[in-house]
Structure formats: structure tokens, C-alpha cells
Amino acid sequence: MRKQRGMKRWVWMTGTALLGYLFAMMLVLGPADALARNIKVGIVDTYSGPPAVYGNDALNGFKLALEEINKQGVLGGKIEFTTRDEKFKVDVALAMAKELVMRENVDLLVGTINSGASLAISDGVAKAEKMPFIVWTAKDEKITGELGHRYVFSTAENTAMAGKAGGVGLAKKPYKKYWIAGDDYAYGHAIADAAWRNLKALKPDVEKIGESWWKIGEPDLVPYLTSISAAKPDAVIFCTGGASMTNCLKALKSTGFAAKIPSWIHTAIDHAVLKPLGAEAPEGVMGTIQYLFYYPETPENKAFVQAFQKAYGNPPGFPAFNAYITAQLIAAAYKKAGTIDKEKFIDAIEGLKVKGPTGSTVEMRACDHQAVYPMYFGTTKKLPQYDFVVATDIMTLTGDQVMPTCEEILKIRKK
Amino acid sequence: MAFDLSAIGSQFFVGLSRSMILFIVTAGLSFVLGVLRVPNIAHGSLYMIGAFSAFSVTKMVPGATGFWLALILAPLVVAAISFIAERALFCHLYQREHLMLLLFTFALSLILGDLVKITWGAEYKSIMAPKIFDGSVRIFGASIPKYNFFLLIVGPLVAIGLWLLTNKTKLGKIARAAAVDREMVGAVGVNVSWVFAFAFVFGCFMAGLGGALMAPTISITLGMDHNIIIEGFLIVTIGGLGNMWGALVGSLIFGLSQAFGVLFWPQFAIVFPYTAVVIVLLLRPRGILKSVW
């Protein structure tokens, strides 16, 4: 009996002391915490299956940028993030975005590589919940074009920019008779339309002598290439990506097509595409991309590549570039806004300019929320110092050259 | 648009070489269908495993030797896998109705697909044909890639081998007899169970060979199983179910209609082989050659 009473008293005293301590801590730390809390970024992207290569590259770029940013902090706190694997599925992506907003209370969303998922989050979460959402890898031009709105942004290059870059680059070449070929789905046709429209506008005497479209995932492109070469075009615009890109490059090499007829394929000069092919990659293929780790050889780019290589063991790809500028824009916008308010963040990021990892300026265009940066147009070649094929004869196309104008965007949105 | 003869010639030979791969894969599919009455959807997965195994062999043994070794070892790996599957699973199921077998082989294809993902990962793989296959050769003024030319030689060799096996060996004759009347073959004292095992493993060996031969011209990736199996069943159907020469005829129709479709009407090339299939089935609903079903 005595023992029990003693025990009760002990529990009572400890409890009071603990409560008192907690109360005191709340008084001391509470207000300070409310002023300088961390900014929470929710990332939805693909971290399993083949597209995981791009998802992880983007995440690494984002982490590297945050290391630098968090040394100084933003608004007295840090930028932290939490990731969700959407498995390249639209419904999963949408559910995870909602979960990040409702349960994790994130301040903004970023992601993903899947165009369908990006559009779904843009409409179902960003627009509906008034939650800022920055798309960093998906390339559908509708994201900041036709279906754009106040709460969605893109730091990714899109099909309209890619096609325009191809058109502008090809207009500087002497070819007149073109053939267009590609994967028979939205991405293929979007690139083809944009490239041809822009090429025709800049150089009206070009002529399209034919088109061929193969089903997505078509394993054997040799019959297509032999029939195209029979038509004797001056150059070919190929609109393909993913596994078909590898098939296409292999067939271009094995048939000797690449040696005879010049061709342009968007992202053909991407290191992620060329490296697995090694010496098998064809030479003389033209391609476009927004980031190359070996060009431009600016001190900024060299430092960026070195830091990335040291941290993750391989050079950065274009998703790392996109994600790095995303982090820079986020940090700069919060600093400019001076608060973690969503509407003020959007006002601040509109028209914001930062110096990207290559040293060139990146602007978040106010009219359509699309990041503006230069693109590179190069031709594949095997150089002795690399055991893979790289881009050479690189032309830099400025942001203004590759972007659809604000008037064009607003016209599409009104429709 | 005018076409010169050499363009038509190249397209013909390229289409023919594509037909050869299709023939090698579908001959195995048709053989299994004919002898075992099993519509094996997992045949495409075995083709995929053939290509992935070829990749592994060329990684272990670099250079041209690796490629030739892969052509022998990859089909053997596939044969070994199919032998285990046959003895452990299929041999208990031959008496089931077709729908059950269809569902079962479909399930097996999903399982094999996942096993490939676990073993080799989800990234694209690529292997190189030996240096001697670089470039093109000219036949009657038509230029065709050397590797496709090589396939044009391999295809007929395989066809001759198949003919010898099924017509000149005792095992082949028994297998053909089992395709027509399995009870009778059992009644004359043949161990039908082992004949079936042989037929299944042999059919799957062909899938592996097709995968290994195809590997240098494509990116080796998950999903290549589904592409081939749909074409495979169409070819087997138009040729005549279970008839290996039907598989040859079907492959030629499919491969050549695709190649010429691409040349003459490139925007709509995708529909050509399928249109050919529809026409054949309208005219001859049971296939061009005699079906064993």
C-alpha cells in the first residue's frame, strides 16, 4: 500500500515536471519556429522501371542545388523535400500529389517525367487546390500551352521548343527535299508538326516528299529506312524517343543510312541515349538538346559537372539541369516574395531570372510560365578522347529563337 | 512517285530477311500448337529471354566470338527453361481445355516477364553484330545490309534442318504422328509424354534462336515479347494452325506485305500486314495450308 502511494506520487511529480518543461520550451521556441520554418517541396516522379534513369538524374540535380542553397538558407529556414514514386502511372501520380498536399502539407509540388501525369496533377491538384506545380521533365507542349494556367510552370523543354529548335537548326542547312518519319503517337506527331511548321516558315522552298509512321515499339526499322533511302530525300526528320530511339539509331548505323543521308532526331545527341550504344552509335546524325555536360565549356558548367560527378559518380543529364534550375528558381522566388505564401510565390517567380548551371540566363516567362533557355543543335561524332559518340559542330540557339511567342501561346489558350 | 527496280529489290530482300526471323519464331510456335495443342502465349517471353541471354553471353565473351557463342548458348538457355516448365507444369495440363491452357500460358508469360526484369533490370540493352556485318552488300543492283543478308542464309538453313528433323528422323516422324492422333501413337507403345517434352523444348529452342538472331538489330527491352506474340499468332493462323510450312508461308506474307507497304504507302504502312491477314482469312478461313486442328 505504501509502495503504491509512493509510486503514484512519483508519476505525478514527473508528469508535472515534463509538462512544465514542454510548456517552457514552447514559449521559448514557438514564435521563432513560426517565423523561420522549412519550405517543403513535394516531388512526384518515376523512380522504378526504365524512366527511373531520368527520375533519379533529376532528383540528383535537385539535391545538388539544394546543398548550395541550404548553406545560406531561404527566409531563415531550409528547403526540404519528400519524394513519391508514381511508377509512370497517371492515376498513381494524381493520388500521390493529393496525398502530398493533404497529409504532408507541402508548399509546392514538382515532377514528373510522365506527360499524362503532369497534366493530371496540373488540372486536378494545382488548379483545383491553388497549389504551385513545376513540371521538370515531361515534354508535352500543352502543359504550359493550351492547358496552362496560373498555378502550373515548366522548367522542361517541350515539343514545341524542340520542334522549333530543329526547324531553326535545319533552316541553316542546305537541304531542300525532306522526309518525315517517326513513332505513330502524340510525341512523334507533335515534334514533326512543330519542326516542319518552323522550317517551312524560315525556309519556304523546302519540300516534304513523303512521310512514314511506324507503330510505337516497332522492333525492326530496316524496311522503313531502305524505303526512305529509295525516295532519295536530302535529309530526314525522325520523330522518335525511348526504346524506338535506340532501334532507330542502330538501324541508321547498320543500314549505312547515316553515312548517306543526313537526319535530325531531337535528343539524338543526349548522352543517356548515346552512351549505352558505345561505338555502335551512328555518326553524322543531327540532334537537339538543352543540356550537354561537355558543352559549353564555361567555368560554371565545368564546376557543376565536377560537383555532380563527385557526388553521384556520373555526369549530369538534361533532367539534372532542369531540376537544378527548378531549385534555383524556387529559392530565388521565395527570397523575392519574402514569405511562404503561395500567391506571392507565384507573383515573384513570374519573369524571374537566374543564372543556370552553364552560366547562361534562365528566365521563367511570365506570360505562359515556361522556362526560357538556350538549346544546342549538334551532330554526332566519335572523338578519340571518349569511348562513346558525342555531339560536335554545336550551334547555340537562343531562348527567343526556340520559344513560341507569347501571342501564339495566348491564341492557343483562348481557343 | 517513281520507284526504280533496285529500290523494289532492296525492299524485297529486307522484307524477306524479316520473314526469316518471323519464320524461325513461328515455326516453333506452330510446332508446339500442332503436336501439343497448346497455344503458347509464353513463346514470346522465351523469344525475349533468348535476346537477353544473348546480351549476357556477349557481355561475358567480348567480340565476334561472343556473338557466335550467343547464337548457340542463348537458345540452349531457353530450351533449359522450357524443359523445366514442361516437366514441372505443362505435362500435367495437356488434357485441359484450350481456354485454360491459354490463361495458363498467359500467366506464365507475365511471370517470365517479371523474372526477366528481376534478372536483367528494366533498362534497354543493346548488342553489336560482329564487324564483318558492317555495311551493305549489292545483289542484282539492290543494296541490303549485310546482317539482313546473313539472315537470308540462316532462314533457309533452319527450314532445311526442320524438314530433315520432322521427315527423316524417327523422333520427328513420331512427333508428326502424335500431332494427328496422339492416342494411336500411345497405343503402339511410344512414350508420348517424352515425345511431348521433346516437341515443347524444341519449339521453345526456336523462340530462343529467333530472339538471339534478332538481338543485334533492335534494342533488347521488356515488352518485345508482346510485340512478337501477336504477330506470331496471326502468322500461324493464316499459314494453317500447327503446320510448320504454313508458318513459312504466313511469315513471307507478313514480312513482305510490311516491307512493300512501307515502300508504296508509308503513311499507312502499319495496316498493311494486318490487311493481308484479313484478306487471307476471308478467302481461306482455316489458313492457306492444311491445318492440323
Type of residue found at A257 = F
Half-sphere exposure of A36 (CA within 13 A, CB side): 9
What are the sequence ranges of the domains in chain B? 5-222
Q: Does pLDDT of B166 surpass 90?
A: no
Task: Tell me the percentage of chain B whose pLDDT exceeds 90.
Answer: 48
Q: Which three cell numbers, joined as nine digits, stand for A270? A: 543526349
pLDDT score for B1: 46
DSSP character at residue A370: B
**Of all helices (H) and strands (E), which one includes residue A138?**
none
A360 by Cβ neighbours in 10 Å (0-12 / 13-18 / 19+) ranks as middle
Averaged pLDDT score across all residues of chain A: 90
Of A56-60, A186-190, A269-273, B180-184, the poorest mean pLDDT is in: B180-184
Q: B262, A224: Cβ pair inside 8 Å?
A: yes
Sign, CA dihedral B161-B162-B167-B171, equals positive
Q: Name all domains of chain A by residue range, CATH numbers in brackets.
A: 39-157+297-373 (3.40.50.2300), 161-289+375-402 (3.40.50.2300)
More confident residue, B65 or A20: B65
Residue B220: is it exposed, middle or buried by C-beta count within 10 angstroms (0-12/13-18/19+)?
Answer: buried
In angstroms, the CA B222 to CA B112 distance is 11
Its pTM stands at: 0.80
The CA-atom distances, in angstroms, between A81 and each of A66, A107, A248 are: 10, 10, 38
Cα separation, A361 vs A368, in Å, equals 18
Task: Judge: B227–A52 Cβ closer than 8 Å, yes or no.
Answer: no
Q: Does B18 touch chain A (CB under 8 A)?
A: yes
Which residues, listed in sequence order, are joined to residue A292 by a DSSP beta bridge? Answer: A295
State residue A272's pLDDT score. 85
Size of interface A-B (CB pairs under 8 A): 116
Q: What angle do CA A412, A396, A301 make, to 5 degrees?
A: 110
First to last CA, chain A: 84
pLDDT number for residue A185:
84
Prior bond of A404 cis (ω within 30°) = no
What is the model's pLDDT at position A119? 94
What is the b/e burial string over A228-263, where b = at least 16 CB atoms within 10 angstroms of the residue's CB? bbbbebbbbbbbbbbbbbbbbbbbbbbbbbbeebbb
Of A167-181, A200-214, A272-286, B242-256, the one with minimum mean pLDDT is: A272-286
Chain B residue with CA closest to A227: the answer is B263
Q: What is the DSSP string of A392-404?
A: EEEEEEPHHHHSP
Residue from B6, B17, B126 whose CB has the most chain A CBs within 10 Å, to mutate: B126
Model confidence over B81-123: pLDDT tens digits?
A: 999 999 999 888 888 888 899 999 999 999 999 899 889 987 7
Best mutation site among B8, B148, B254, B262 for testing chain A: the one with the most A CBs within 10 Å?
Answer: B262
Which is nearest to B11 in space by CA: B230, B239, B258?
Answer: B258
Number of neighbours of residue A35 by Cβ within 10 angstroms: 9
Average pLDDT over residues A9-35: 61
| CB proximity B269 to A under 8 Å | yes
Q: Strands A152-154 and A133-135: what pairing?
A: parallel
A360-403 pLDDT, tens per residue? 999 999 999 999 999 999 999 999 888 889 999 999 999 988 99
Predicted pLDDT at A3 = 55
